[in-house]
């Protein structure tokens, strides 16, 4: 066997490096949105095993989880700053192409027979790798295996990265998805829940970074121009000088791309949201809209305290409603419906109710489990009878968002009939507390928390959301560049 590297393998290597760079950078960006890691799904303050937080959690006043977001340097994060929405767009867009490239690469490995140089076929790889390790430990470079471009320890490390570490990152990434976890709660448990998966995903990142550092170091010390000949031109007999120049230019252009796309994202966030949205929307939508929540956590798993996001409305109107125990509060249901409704709390409580114990997935990364009680949204649909043109439900809140406009979110009508989509007026057996959305909030259990509008005022059935607010499908989409349908 020659030690040539076929062109497809070299291309796959560099495509992999390119998207991995985005994944790591954007992953760090996402971590900055809630820089605390846990092994429990309550995200209870003080129980984190690792934190990069810059702000202590206040103990003398109510606080919201968004206060915990921190700025990330653009040297590390994609795109840098306080940019969870764009970071997620980059992370999932890059993941899409990274996985595609990986699948093509593995298929070609198999059909070309090239896998024999990567996957160990004899147990002797372990003692041989140990010998290599001892050689490295004595500060010498071991010789490559016969007919192979690298020594047994390197082979073992490459095989582990391709066939163990990469799949592990995909699996722990998927386990953080509200859609996937809602439909397959047992899958989430495999990794110790969402926080377990998130912590493991982070450790996987560290493992990848460690691999990259050691790999790069070895590429340099075992003969940089020779190795560049292999991975750029396919063989080390080739013009090594040219290979080094091309290789360094390639790496420089990748770094320049990260810098330019980060700068461009922050300069034109809306354009970035739209462009990358086209890449990730089909998957996002499918997970949010097509999956079904089948969550039935035991009462014993209810979190001692569910974190809060969004500050309660501070308008005189809401204060008045709350002072009267919401006796004068109404939920207005209108728009593209046959029968507009105006429902009191008693009307809602008179309808057949439902309770469910589910996990709340905040886009920032934290989560918690609570019991929610209320009316299935399907019952409201039966009562108001949406017109055929209605495609989205727009939930409006009494609370004002950052732009000073009422907080709203648009939800696909297909979600309204999901068995666990409810309007909740109860939490953990009590009337819904004000911080959690009194008197009524939405629960849509296959999506991220920000879709679940609290302090509800009105539900409108619409054909399109583009003429509402900034037109992105919700306050968070408008102001923070989140995605409209969020199953991940």
Name the segment binding ligand MTE (CB under 6 A); options: 219-227, 301-309, 349-357, 412-420.
Answer: 301-309
Tell me how far apart the alpha carbons of residues 54 and 43 are, in angstroms, rounded to a whole number.
17
Q: CB-based burial of residue 280 (10 Å sphere; 0-12 exposed, 13-18 middle, 19+ buried)?
A: buried
* Residue 142 to residues 132, 145, 148, 157, Cα–Cα distance (Å): 6, 9, 13, 15
397 binds ligand MTE (CB under 6 A): yes
User: Does 482 participate in binding Mo ion (rule CB under 5 A)?
Assistant: no
Candidates 109-117, 249-257, 269-277, 354-362: pick the segment binding Mo ion (CB under 5 A).
Answer: 354-362
Residue 333: enclosing H or E segment and its boundaries? strand 331-335
Applying CB under 6 A, among 309, 358, 420, 428 the residue interacting with ligand MTE is: 309
* Strand, helix or coil for residue 61: coil
Q: How far is the CB of 198 from ligand MTE (least distance, A)?
A: 15
DSSP letter, residue 175: T
State which residue, 19 or 392, has the beta carbon closest to ligand MTE.
392
Question: Using CB distances below 5 to 8 A depending on partner kind, what does residue 380 bind out of ligand MTE, Mo ion, none?
Answer: none
User: CB under 8 Å to 309, separation ≥6 — which residues?
Assistant: 64, 65, 66, 362, 364, 449, 450
303 binds ligand MTE (CB under 6 A): no
Cis omega before residue 439 (within 30°)? yes
Q: Count CB-CB contacts under 10 A for residue 39.
A: 14
Strand extents, DSSP E, 15-94 = 36-37, 50-51
Of positions 26, 37, 444, 453, contacts ligand MTE by CB under 6 A? 453
d(CA 88, CA 273): 10
For residue 168, what are its two tokens? 């592990």
399 forms part of the interface with ligand MTE (CB under 6 A):
yes
Stretch that binds Mo ion, among 56-64, 77-85, 278-286, 361-369 (CB under 5 A): 361-369
Show the binding pattern over residues 354-373: x = contacts ligand MTE (CB under 6 A), - = does not.
Answer: ------x-x-----------
Query: Under the criterion CB under 6 A, does residue 307 sit at the interface with ligand MTE?
Result: yes
Nearest-CB residue to ligand MTE? 310
Residue closer to ligand MTE by CB (options 185, 435) is: 435
Host H or E run for residue 20: helix 7-31
- Residue in 31, 228, 306, 422 binding ligand MTE, rule: CB under 6 A: 306
- What, of Mo ion, ligand MTE, none, does residue 262 touch, CB below 5 to 8 Å by kind? none
Q: Is residue 42 near ligand MTE by the rule CB under 6 A?
A: no
Asked if 437 touches Mo ion (CB under 5 A), the answer is: no
Distance of closest approach, residue 484 Cβ to ligand MTE, in angstroms: 14
Give me the least distance between CB of 313 and ligand MTE, in Å please: 8
Instruction: Encode 73-100: b = buried (16+ Cβ within 10 Å), e = exposed.
Output: ebeebbbbbbbbbbbbbbbbbbbbbbee
Beta bridge partners of 360: 368
Q: How many residues bind ligand MTE (CB under 6 A)?
A: 17
- 432 lies in the site for ligand MTE, by CB under 6 A: no
Length of the chain: 488
**Cα–Cα distance, 159 to 118 (Å, whole number):** 6
Positions of E strands within 338-381: 341-343, 354-361, 367-376
Tell me which stretch binds Mo ion (CB under 5 A): 30-38, 44-52, 253-261, 304-312.
304-312
The least CB distance from residue 293 to ligand MTE, in Å, is 16
Residue 89 binding result from ligand MTE, Mo ion, none, given CB thresholds of 5 to 8 Å by partner type: none
Q: Report the DSSP beta bridge partners of residue 430.
A: 427
Distance, CA of 97 to CA of 486 (rounded, Å): 19
3-state DSSP call for residue 330? Answer: coil
Q: How far is the CB of 76 from ligand MTE (least distance, A)?
A: 24
* Cβ contact 309:399 at 8 Å: no
CB of 306 to ligand MTE, least distance (A): 5
Residue 85 lies near ligand MTE (rule: CB under 6 A): no
348 near ligand MTE, judged by CB under 6 A? no
Q: Which of residues 406-425 bind ligand MTE (CB under 6 A)?
A: 407
- Among 117, 201, 285, 436, the residue binding ligand MTE under the rule CB under 6 A is 436
- Element housing 409 (H / E): strand 406-412
Query: Which of the choices ligand MTE, Mo ion, none does residue 455 contact, using the CB cut-off of 5 to 8 A by kind?
Result: ligand MTE
Spatial contact of 420 and 372, defined as CB atoms under 8 Å apart: no
Which of 330, 430, 417, 411 is CA-nearest to residue 372? 430
Q: Is 455 in the site for ligand MTE (CB under 6 A)?
A: yes
- What residue is closest to Mo ion based on CB? 362
Part in contact with ligand MTE (CB under 6 A); list of ranges 15-23, 223-231, 285-293, 447-455: 447-455
Binding of Mo ion at residue 444 (CB under 5 A)? no
- Residues near Mo ion (CB under 5 A): 309, 362-363, 449-450
- Residues near ligand MTE (CB under 6 A): 306-310, 360, 362, 397, 399, 407, 436, 449-450, 452-455
């Amino acid at each position: 066997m020659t030690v040539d590297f076929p062109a497809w393998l070299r291309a796959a290597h560099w495509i992999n490096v390119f998207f991995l760079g985005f994944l790591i950078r954007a992953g760090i960006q996402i971590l900055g949105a809630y820089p605390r890691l846990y092994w429990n799904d309550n995200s209870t303050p003080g129980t984190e095993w690792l934190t990069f937080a810059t702000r202590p959690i206040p103990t003398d006043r109510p606080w919201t989880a968004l206060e915990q977001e921190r700025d990330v340097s653009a040297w590390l994060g994609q795109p840098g700053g306080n940019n969870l929405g764009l970071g997620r767009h980059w992370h999932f867009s890059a993941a899409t192409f990274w996985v595609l490239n990986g699948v093509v690469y593995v298929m070609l490995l198999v059909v070309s027979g090239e896998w024999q140089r990567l996957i160990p076929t004899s147990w002797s790889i372990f003692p041989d790798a140990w010998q290599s390790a001892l050689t490295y430990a004595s500060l010498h470079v071991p010789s490559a295996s016969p007919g192979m471009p690298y020594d047994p320890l390197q082979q073992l490390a490459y095989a582990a990265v391709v066939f163990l570490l990469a799949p592990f990152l995909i699996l722990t990434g998927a386990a953080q998805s509200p859609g996937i976890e809602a439909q397959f709660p047992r899958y989430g448990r495999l990794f110790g829940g969402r926080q377990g998966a998130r912590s493991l995903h982070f450790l996987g990142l560290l493992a990848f970074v460690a691999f990259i550092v050691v790999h790069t170091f070895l590429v340099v010390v075992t003969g940089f121009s020779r190795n560049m000949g292999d991975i750029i031109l396919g063989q080390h007999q080739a013009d090594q000088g040219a290979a080094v120049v091309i290789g360094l230019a390639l790496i420089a252009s990748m770094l320049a791309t990260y810098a330019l796309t980060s700068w461009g994202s922050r300069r034109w966030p809306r354009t970035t949201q739209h462009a990358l949205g086209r890449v990730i929307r089909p998957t996002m939508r499918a997970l949010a809209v097509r999956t079904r929540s089948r969550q039935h956590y035991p009462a014993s798993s209810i979190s001692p305290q569910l974190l809060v996001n969004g500050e309660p409305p501070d308008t005189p109107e809401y204060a008045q409603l709350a002072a009267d125990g919401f006796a004068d509060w109404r939920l207005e249901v209108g728009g593209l419906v046959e029968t507009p409704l105006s429902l009191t709390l008693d009307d809602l409580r008179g309808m057949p109710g439902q309770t469910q114990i589910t996990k709340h997935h905040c886009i920032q990364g934290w989560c918690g489990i609570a019991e929610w009680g209320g009316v299935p949204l399907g019952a409201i649909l039966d009562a108001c009878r949406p017109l055929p043109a209605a495609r989205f439900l727009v939930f409006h809140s009494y609370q004002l968002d950052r732009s000073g406009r009422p907080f709203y979110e648009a939800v696909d009508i297909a979600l309204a009939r999901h068995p666990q989509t409810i309007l909740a007026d109860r939490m953990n057996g009590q009337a819904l507390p004000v911080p959690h959305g009194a008197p009524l909030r939405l629960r849509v259990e296959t999506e991220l928390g920000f879709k679940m509008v609290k302090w509800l005022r009105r539900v409108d059935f619409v054909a399109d959301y583009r003429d509402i607010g900034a037109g992105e499908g919700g306050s968070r989409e408008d102001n923070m560049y989140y995605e409209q349908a969020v199953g991940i």
